[in-house]
Amino acid sequence: MIELHGFGDQIAVGAFTTLRTAFTSLALGVCVGICGAVAKRSRLRIIRWLTGCYTTIVRGVPELLIILILYFGGTVALTALFGHYVEVDAFAAGVFALTIVFGAYATEVFRAAIQAVPSGQIEAAQALGLSRFCIWHLVIVPQMWRYALPGLGNLWLTLLKDTALISVVGLEDLMRKTSIAAGTTHDPLTFYSIAASLYLLFTSLSLFGLTWLERRADRGVRFAK
Alpha-carbon distance of 31 to 39, in angstroms, equals 12
**Domains along the sequence of the chain with CATH:** 10-224 (1.10.3720.10)
Compute the CA torsion angle 59, 64, 65, 67 (nearest 10 deg). 100
State pLDDT tens for residues 177-222.
Answer: 999 998 888 888 989 999 999 999 999 999 999 999 888 877 766 5
**Cβ partners under 8 Å of residue 110, min gap 6:** 33, 34, 36, 37, 144, 148
Q: Which residue has the higher pLDDT, 159 or 125?
A: 159
Q: What is the DSSP letter of 62?
A: -
State pLDDT tens for residues 104-151.
Answer: 999 999 999 988 888 888 888 888 888 888 888 888 888 888 889 999
